[in-house]
Amino acid sequence: MHMNRIILFIGLIFIKGCAPTSNDTSNNPLIIGFNKDFDFENIKLGHIKEGTDFVISQAEKIKIEIIKRDDSKRTYENTLVPIDDIYNVIESVWSPGYLMGSVHTKEEIRNEGLESSKTIQNYMTDLSLDEELYKAVLAYSKSDEAKSLKGLRKKFLDDILLGYKRIGFMLPKEQREKVKVVLNKLTNLGLEFDKNIRSAQDTLFLEKKDLDGMPDNYKKERLHSSGKYAIDMSYPSYIPFMDLSESDKAREQLRYKFNNRAVDKNIDVLDEILRNRNKLVSLLGYNSYAEYRTEDRMAKNPKNVWDFENDLKQKLRKKAENDVQEMLKIKSVRLKTDAKNIYSWEAGYYENQVKLKKYDLDAEEVRQYFEFNNVTSGLFKIYQRLFNVRFEKVGNPSVWHEDVQMFSIYEKDSDELIGKFYLDMFPRPNKYGHAAAFSVIMGKMTDNGYQKPATALVCNFPKPTEYQPSLLTHDDVETYFHEFGHLVHGVLTKSPLVSYAGTSVPRDFVEAPSQMLENWVWEKESLFLFAKHYETGDIIPDALLEKMIAAKNINSGTKALQQVFYGIYDFSLNDGYDPDGNKSTTDMIKELKNDVTLYPYQEGTHQQASFGHLNGYGAAYYGYKWSEVYAHDMFSVFKTEGILNPKTGLKYRRIILEKGGTEEPLDLVKKFLGREPNSDAFLRSMGI
């Protein structure tokens, strides 16, 4: 996923970052000069708050300048561009501050980063409801120049005006004040929801017999001083256990703990979020939060989403049923019974068994060919070749942890700096627990030239130990390519406005460019560049690769149905659901899991408590599958013209990545494809 901040003002989406030019707070590592680097290593308690106060004061100065300008002399350059400048100034601390709230090693810095985010989001709510600023934009919109705007300039004005409608400027002032209260409440609740997930720590302690099937190194790394084995909830601990452990009981226990993370706090928080979303849309005159959220996205309305999800559910059903039958055959033989169900804590295990029994594909054998540094080297080669760029490692960078690396991106054929990126790839206590690209600095044209973007890639791959290096599963490799796709989308931007820079595109398209880039981990030509045995250096054998590709669509139906379930659950909570009605969010998850997926609900679990997307992706999770249709369609061009064809890669960079949100995504996709998009490649990719 990409990690961005939703700025309600004008209804646009940003990932965070930029740089003010004042030197008033020169000792603050977050207040930097134009195109300088943040001094992350020297951030201390108080710096994020000081920086937050500073950029808000700078933003206020810009706002006042806009407001006091004579209405008869308003232009695009002196009224609309300064609004984008406000975002730029605010983002300059919001970005690194929010990142520190997710990754810093010190709790007090993390807390300050999250408090800063809360303060800034509340400020942005105030800004979006500022009547004088609205009047300034409205006055400009009536000018002859405004009426003759075209292209990006017209889009920016239209989006700002739509944003004012969506924030309630058609309402009386008293109603707008109520909107403000609800928006601030939602900001605080969302931050609380995310923080509770990050803070949820739990461990399952097991006997030696419960680890049958696990690799020796896995067991060595988790041997506790008590003589038991400590299995925590981090992905490198949880996922291998669910895939490989022979103990059905231990897997069931671990799944139970995993799907009850943050349950003591977040059930109530989620209900409050849903109540306040309902209050918001009631004030604004929408039928549901889903209607509100889809209005400015590719989907346009809830009906299109429901049609999409229900159509997909129907098309995937047969493939998913076949997937389950394959697993049931193995389960029946293993347990010497006529098995009727695959449970959620068995899905990973029996999927792995199908790979072993049907394709003789051993996930542990596959891992030997995906050592982290080799994968990174190959990924770099592929992205550099496709997009005509070169990466250079930065020596002795100022970073927040010793594991973090920093790189510069240059045009391949010149010394022109494009931007920078950070890699924070291994787990540690209290770090953001999933995989995401966090914006650090966003692209924007300024009086000083183009502001060079920067992005931080935060992942949780297995850390090298004294027993073995970091070996990635093939799923990990796919995640790496996906998230790096978000990274290049952010860093290769050429948008003149921060409002449309990088991944600042409609939420139901934002995953498409990175999903498209996952495909390179399934192609021989690209895999041969980096898939080599960590001990011998031998390139992955053809026979093993053939088995991996043949096994690609094992459980493609069940996995896709699981995504449809997540999308329908999220959308259901935001399209007419009443948290104070007859059904709880747990009742809903049980009902939909049993209806949509083929894995029965695990009694006593509350997965919604740790389903972070219900906050940031509220009424938008459908976008993962929605965008995947476009992703596979775009990849079909590379499949035809060559997956390492630099000409096609440069075309993709120019049309999709550099444009960001400056044009409608459907228009960009059509331009890249040279035709209308369709779902043929998407369905083929799953073996349907």
Structure-token pair, residue 126: 């105030």
| Alpha carbons within 13 A on the beta-carbon side of 426 | 14
Angle at 235 between CA 234 and CA 238, to 5 degrees: 85
The alpha carbon of residue 69 and the mean position of all alpha carbons in its chain are separated, in whole angstroms, by 39
- In the beta sheet, which residues pair with residue 14? 5
Instruction: Report yes or no: 648 and 640 within 8 Å, Cβ to Cβ.
Output: no
Backbone angles phi, psi at 3, to 5 degrees: -105, 110
Sequence-distant (≥ 6) Cβ neighbours of residue 406 within 8 angstroms: 37, 393, 394, 397, 399, 420, 421, 422, 423
Residue 194, by phi and psi: left (phi above 0), alpha (psi -120 to 50) or beta? alpha
What three-state secondary structure class fits 485? helix
What three-state secondary structure class fits 454? strand
Residue 107, burial from CB neighbour count under 10 angstroms (0-12, 13-18, 19+): exposed
Separation of alpha carbons 541 and 533, rounded Å: 10
Q: Helix, strand, coil % (nearest 5) of the chain?
A: 60, 10, 35
Tell me which of 346, 483, 511, 628 is the catalytic residue: 483
Please say if 365 is a catalytic residue.
Answer: no
Separation of alpha carbons 524 and 546, rounded Å: 9
Residue 122, burial from CB neighbour count under 10 angstroms (0-12, 13-18, 19+): middle
Radius of gyration of the chain (CA): 25
The alpha carbon of residue 353 and the mean position of all alpha carbons in its chain are separated, in whole angstroms, by 30
Separation of alpha carbons 373 and 273, rounded Å: 41
Can you say whether the dihedral through the CA atoms of 561, 567, 569, 571 is positive or negative? negative
Separation of alpha carbons 303 and 15, rounded Å: 28
Q: Which of 351, 437, 441 is nearest to 91 (CA)?
A: 441
Instruction: Tell me which residues are annotated as active site.
Output: 483
